[in-house]
Structure 1
């Protein structure tokens, strides 16, 4: 039996101790969905399995180059045409909890929206508990600035000693207006400051979005809805700046599709799923902008941290 020095736990990969399950409705499809998150072997990453598909068509790896659509959510797909939509909130919860490896089995094409935030998924992962694995955790370190821009929107990476995010939004609406926030990723900080921030939208856009097959499962139970200068949800907002916090939440989830934690500073200015993915693609295309960082020097002597009982 191998025992791991708890002081070195941040050097190691993690998975879940036990499977956890939830059900809900798909935000865009409106369909009922059943989802299970289960432990996975070290080095396998985050993988989705469609239980309503057979063979290779059922499997989708949660990586940036598998993103096939970014209209109001992030959609993953494989070469067989199988897709999984609205993955960003679950991916954010996995990133916030520090889960490196998991198998997510789902019986439909969309992750359930739950309450519109990552909090229900974060609670599920806390219920499951984390199991430390005897494989090193590899990170992607940003070595130089990378930026993508589009129509007054921008997303960028810059070198930094930690995984940190800053975001600014500016809406022509009195409820949202101009908001900005910074955040350094850590499990407690994600749970307390970011996870509960809900997705949001405008009432006057609902009819059009439904006409093109989107937000068919949307309601006041799973989104902040704004009508004019009024928040329609009973109880109002969870945070005074819930909108920019949710944009950070989306970015955390979208960027975890890098396949490893990113050590660096992300800054978003009015960016969304499409620009977040374009930034990852620009980063990966520039081999001089990043490197895989092995654990600290102590990892050169693995025996210091792993003892055989």
Structure 2
């Protein structure tokens, strides 16, 4: 024997169960009806955009993103397993909502869910989800509109409903995938980590050399914002395992196509006889 309860709307209530054989026996059972919308979000501001929550639980987004693939994000514990699907019946042209999968160390796992795509299986090791609203325009334009986005279990999209949590404070940055360098002094140059991905370089270089570290990258599209340290004499660079250059820090904000998963070098390159005294923050973001 089983009991099926269908909630009309999210909230707390009780269900009274009466015995057919003993009418005087009954039991009240507390029931919590949860939204089918698995997202969590709230007020957020950054990268030129501001999000507030409307009375119906939808998001109102205003402002102009500072650049393409910049915007707002919210990270929250992953509430389900299996497959999920994303839909936004009310959208804003030029804004791109998606949900990415995050592991216990804060690293982004392979795959993402986007509106209009098929259902996606949540990868093993997922601990959190990151809901992002990013500008997809090469030259972002001003926005002022409402977004209704719904993430739900399964492979069938249903009518939009407000999430249970609309008070989650949002952030504004994608995860910085540029690996860390350790403090060191080599050939007259001292590298000092300052925290939050920022570094200090000081000294006069006695010979050409590189400071290197590596990171595994998935295939996909990445963004490397310009990171010019000292003209063309001291700069950061990304190379693949064959030594092919993918990007140099004095280039403009550039989308980088990583053709296959593998180990990539993240370098700081120095020219001899040059004096440097600068702080810099190299960054790499995964866009898909």
User: TM-score per shorter chain, which class?
Assistant: under 0.3
Decide which structure has greater strand share.
Answer: 2
The answer to which structure, 1 or 2, has the higher relative contact order (CA under 8 A, 6+ apart) is 1
- The normalised TM-score by structure 1 is 0.23
Comparing both structures, which one devotes a greater share of its residues to helix? 1
Q: Which has the larger radius of gyration?
A: 2
